[in-house]
Copies of this chain bind each other. A is one copy, B any other.
């Protein structure tokens, strides 16, 4: 017998209904405060992987803590319950209640998924959050996941990523032709356009893929993750800027049926814990990336390079084509991109006038 039933029984014995509020107690208090929900969280990263795995762990702990133990979460690293690219299906099917991943991994199931992680030459982390919460982005994302029985949430952001690790210097677009590069999302489609061969592999397989020549170049996140994965041992040149991922969103999807069973206070706790996770992950990446970069350069002799301007110009042109083509895939993709594009066109001049203008000055 569950504790709340026990209490209800006691109350019945004592002749006082639990819902019968006396003059001394406040109204509007949800009374199911005893049921404990046992949930599973599956993820696309190893347990405790810097930033991403620790982000999932911290989120699970936060929900337990704020709920006072009324939600208990068992965390599964990639491959422990399901594979890193099976998270979406697992949560959709109810094999887990929570899934910590990133939307562009699901582009094969949902054409518009790319737009909820990141768009090449698109929004930064700060702007993505502004679009999600105050620009209609999250409402569109919810609409997109609804047919799968899922509720999406931004639950982290990597900040602006790097452009990737290369074994040779990139002096022209020709140097990228034929290159087998690990790259997901719309960035991969840009690489296809210029004659490279993008493949998507989970983070855990990248080091070996580089070592064995399965791929020639790799882009994962940024210094904090890349140092942990040891890319400096298999590639020499580290390129910026991350034109393809200016601010990549991490998600935590919820099984909608499981969510509906929670009382209102726990629903609020779960969804707001994800906002906390969103803030904390970006803060952690911001703090740790530079430490890792210093280690990469000073200890491991990594060569920092910036893509040549004409290469960036071409990548920008192809990015616009790829994004428009992605938007044309179906009516929902079209609406999502129309919303995000309008937001970008509006927010970019403000970011330029305020944040960028300040950063220019600080570097003077």
Q: Which residues of A contact B (CB under 8 A)?
A: 1-3, 6-7, 10-11, 13-14, 16, 21-22, 24-26, 28-30, 33-34, 36, 62, 65-70, 72, 121, 124-127, 129-135, 159-162, 222-223, 240-243, 246, 263-265, 268-269, 272-273, 275-276, 278-280, 282-284, 286-291, 293-294, 304, 306, 309, 312-313, 316, 343, 346-364
Asked whether A14 and B22 contact (CB < 8 A) given A65-B265, A316-B364, the answer is no
Residue from B161, B316, B349, B356 in contact with A290 in the complex, judged by beta carbons closer than 8 Å: B349
CB A7 to nearest CB in B, in angstroms, measures 7
Contact of A350 among B36, B246, B290 (CB under 8 A): B290
- CB A267 to nearest CB in B, in angstroms, measures 9
B24 contacts A282, C-beta separation under 8 Å: no
A68 and B313 contact, CB distance less than 8 A: no
Contact A354:B68 (CB < 8 A) given known A33-B33, A159-B126, A348-B362: no
Asked whether B241 lies within 8 Å of A69 as measured between CB atoms, the reply is no
Find out whether the CB atom of B354 lies under 8 angstroms from the CB atom of A241: yes
Q: List 29 A-B contacts (CB under 8 A).
A: A1-B22, A3-B29, A7-B7, A10-B14, A26-B72, A30-B69, A33-B68, A65-B264, A67-B265, A121-B361, A131-B287, A133-B280, A133-B283, A133-B284, A246-B358, A269-B269, A272-B272, A275-B275, A276-B276, A278-B279, A289-B350, A290-B346, A304-B353, A312-B361, A348-B362, A348-B363, A352-B363, A356-B360, A359-B359
Chain A binding site: helix, strand, loop or mixed by DSSP?
A: helix
Taken together as a complex, chains A and B put the C-alpha atoms of A289 and B360 apart, in Å, by 20
Number of copies of this chain that the complex holds: 2
Query: A26, B243: Cβ atoms under 8 Å?
Result: no
Q: Verify B286–A28 contact, CB threshold 8 A.
A: no
Contact of A66 with B286 in the complex, beta carbons under 8 Å:
no
Tell me which residues across on chain B come within 8 A of A129, comparing CB atoms. 279, 282-283, 286
For residue A143, give the distance in angstroms from its CB to the closest CB of chain B: 19
* B288 and A240 form a contact (CB under 8 A): no
Please give, as numbers and ranges, the residues of chain B lying within 8 Å of A135 by CB-CB distance: 287
Residues of chain B contacted by A241 (CB below 8 angstroms): 353-354, 357-358, 360-361
7 nearest CB pairs, A to B: A68-B265, A290-B350, A134-B287, A130-B286, A3-B25, A241-B357, A160-B354
